[in-house]
C-alpha cells in the first residue's frame, strides 16, 4: 500500500514560495482559523480521518475502490459522495495505467449493483469517475 500512502503524502505536501530574503517559507494548506474557507475544511476532516484509516488498513486497490464506491453511494450529502468518488479516482490513477480499465470496470459494477439512490445518481457517479481517470483527447 505504499502507493496509497505516497498519494496521500503528495496531497498533504505544502507549497513552497520564495521569501524576499531568499529563504523558502512554507504556506499552510489550511486557511486561517475562522477565515474564509475554514468551514469547508472542518466539514471534510472526518472524511480525511476515515480515508487515512482505510489507507492504514492495507487493502489492495480493488478492495479500496470497492469500499470507496460503497461509501460514496451510502453518503447522504453530495460533498461526501464527491469526496469518496475522488478517493476512488485517486487510487485508480495511482496504479499502473494498464489496470485503469479493470479498476474502473470494478467501480462501475459496484456502483450499479447497489440499490441505494436513483439510477440517475449511479450514472452521474460513473461519469464522474470516468471523467477523473480517462483523459480527454
pLDDT in tens, 81-135: 999 999 999 999 999 999 999 999 999 999 998 877 788 889 999 999 999 998 7
33, part of any domain: no
27, part of any domain: no
In terms of residue numbers, what domain contains 95?
2-15+44-133
pLDDT in tens, 46-63: 788 888 888 888 888 899
Mean pLDDT (whole number) for 16-39: 50
**Total domain count, the chain:** 1
23, part of any domain: no
For residue 76, CA distances in Å to 71, 111, 137 come to 10, 15, 34
32, part of any domain: no
Q: Could you tell me whether strands 24-27 and 15-18 are parallel, antiparallel, or unpaired per DSSP bridges?
A: antiparallel
Amino acid at each position: 500500500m505504499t502507493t496509497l500512502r505516497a498519494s496521500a503524502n503528495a496531497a498533504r505536501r505544502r507549497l513552497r514560495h520564495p521569501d524576499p530574503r531568499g529563504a523558502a517559507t512554507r504556506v499552510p494548506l489550511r486557511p486561517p482559523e475562522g477565515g474564509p474557507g475554514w468551514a469547508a475544511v472542518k466539514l471534510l476532516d472526518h472524511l480525511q480521518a476515515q480515508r487515512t484509516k482505510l489507507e492504514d488498513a492495507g487493502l489492495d486497490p480493488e478492495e479500496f475502490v470497492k469500499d470507496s464506491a460503497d461509501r460514496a453511494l451510502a453518503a447522504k450529502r453530495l460533498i461526501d459522495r464527491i469526496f469518496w468518488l475522488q478517493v476512488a479516482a485517486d487510487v485508480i490513477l495511482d496504479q499502473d495505467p494498464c489496470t485503469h480499465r479493470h479498476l474502473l470496470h470494478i467501480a462501475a459494477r459496484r456502483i450499479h449493483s447497489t440499490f441505494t439512490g436513483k439510477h440517475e445518481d449511479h450514472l452521474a457517479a460513473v461519469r464522474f469517475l470516468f471523467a477523473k481517470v480517462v483523459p480527454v483527447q
